[in-house]
Amino acid sequence: MLMRSIALLIVATVLVCPLSSGERSEYSRPNMIGNRSVIVQMFEWRFDDLAEECENFLGPYGYGGIQTSPVLEYAMIKDNRPWWERYQPVSYKIISRSGNAEQLSNMIERCNRAGVRVYVDIVINHMAGPMIGQGVGGTPFNGNAKDFPGVPYGPQHFNDKSKCPSQSGGIEDWRNPEQIRNCELVGLRDLDASQDHVRQKIADAMNSLIRLGVAGFRVDATKHMWVEDVKAILDRVDNLNTQYFQSNERPFIYHEISHDGSKEGIQPEEYLPVGSPLEFMYRRNLVNVFRKYDNQKLRWLRNWGEPWDLLPSDSAVPFVDNHDFQRSEIDTGISFRQPRLLKMATAFMLAWPYGTPEVMSSYEYEVDPNHREVDNTGPPMDQDGNIVGAKTNPDLSCQAPWRCEHRWRQIYNMVKFREVAEYEPVENWQCPSDNVIAFSRGSSAFIVIVNDNIQVNQEFQTNLPAGRYCDVISGNIERNGETKCTGKVIEVKDGGKALITIDGERDEDPMVAIHIQARL
């Protein structure tokens, strides 16, 4: 990793804006309003709460869309109601812990009216694993016999040993594309999406949600499906609902295609014709830089983007954290457990012009101190297993155990920063030391990030018009009669230069960010 990162520095440093690598897929347009471009993964939120959150917070603060947890009926795991039960579908009826079809429809309408698009996390690669029971809506199923009458699917609709070239029937060789796509993932019943019946049932499920007004889908485990099968399904999917979208708009489809950067097995580039992959290497590389693994430094981000072997910007969904990595990389990743690093890495992601970024919003749970097992704790719930919704504090944050990272000032203000910067290029790259970087976005916005325990007190070129600006990292602008800033005030002189002071050791957030709409 160290040698690869050093090699990246040799790439022509004039390249600061992401390149486009040809025409993007018709499924790679997020269909957001205005200049909005940020999705929030609202993990395990109830539909009624999401509707209020769209109207009261997400819309007013400039978020472009939300990703719901899976909404189609899944197995009820009665013992402890783990978070992963949602990823074990048993039918395509709209019913979940978040609510029913009527509540979902109401939420989608209210979010669209608030300017916030809705993307549904959908599971179409498989059905529930080897168990017998009922779904959350009461639909019976027999995973042992591969019998799901709620769809309906029978044993003939699943891949079997005739297609799966492993002895166990599960994935044994993660470098073998045939095993990855035709064998079972951790025992989950693997659908044969080459069959017309399966393709049509999946398309029907997606169309039922499109009719309600969703803008697209996050497709779970796409890596385990053949690209031609995904395309055949999407060819049967309707255009978006013209009540909320223009005519002939196609749904935004973004795919979970996990990979580690190796050139073996499944590559995300294969799926570019059918949408936008979640960019796992974006997350991995950014975490490595901010955590200084292999002695990596912020200054190496000078040519961040496609020169780092990342996907084309217009066909990628970058992220710093998600529900899986919160559990699988408890100490080595960046999540709400490392709030300082999370705010810094997220600020950089939102400031840099790459992709359609996704922010995580989550809840707390206890962690095994030895980390022997990935925690399965479901959302906050009452004694009857009903989700207990988030409550907010006067400072807009959420009360524990909900973390609501999307409500952290340092994150929601950077969402506005990104909206203000629009499509302006990265300019005025400044790097006074290895882990201190600064850059402007045209003449609209400017940011400084310090990732060392050092004092910074120097002039930077902001490229902004002269005036006094509110640092949106340390505070907010209040316009009750007299306009004032609750955080640092930055004075930009004629010519665009400003004296910036940051204590990398003691400041809660060793960053400064200003933009033209934060001018006092």
The catalytic residues are 220, 256
Contact 209, 94 (CB under 8 A): yes
Phi then psi for 394, rounded to 5 degrees? -60, -30
| DSSP-derived secondary structure letter, 157 | G
**End-to-end C-alpha distance for the chain, whole angstroms:** 44
What is the 3-class SS of 456-502, one letter each residue?
A: EEEEEECCCCCEEEECCCCCCEEEECEEEECCCEEEECCCCEEEEEE
Q: How far is CA 452 from the centre of its chain?
A: 27
**Residues near 494 by beta carbon (within 8 Å), at least 6 away in sequence:** 466
Q: Which single residue is written with the structure tokens 């599971």?
A: 123
Let me know if 233 is exposed, middle or buried by CB neighbors in 10 A (0-12, 13-18, 19+): buried
C-alpha to C-alpha distance for 85 and 253, rounded to whole angstroms: 23
State phi, psi for 298 to the nearest 5 degrees: -60, -35
CA 501 to chain centre: 32
Where do we find the tokens 């340390």? Answer: 474
For residue 188, what are the contacts with CB-CB under 8 A and spacing of at least 6?
Answer: 88, 125, 126, 127, 128, 129
Residue 89 bridge partners (DSSP): 74
Q: How buried is residue 141: exposed, middle or buried, by Cβ count under 10 Å (0-12/13-18/19+)?
A: buried
Q: Angle 60-66-70 (CA atoms, 0-180°, nearest 5)?
A: 150
- Asked whether 83 and 323 are in contact (CB, 8 A), the reply is yes
Cis status of the peptide bond prior to 432, with omega within 30 of 0: no
The Cα–Cα gap between 389 and 48 comes to: 9
DSSP secondary structure string for all residues of 125-149? SEE--S-EEEBTTS-EEETTTTBBT
**Are the CB atoms for 271 and 279 separated by under 8 Å?**
no
Segment holding 220, helix H or strand E: strand 216-220
3-state SS of the chain: helix, strand, coil percent to 5?
Answer: 30, 25, 45
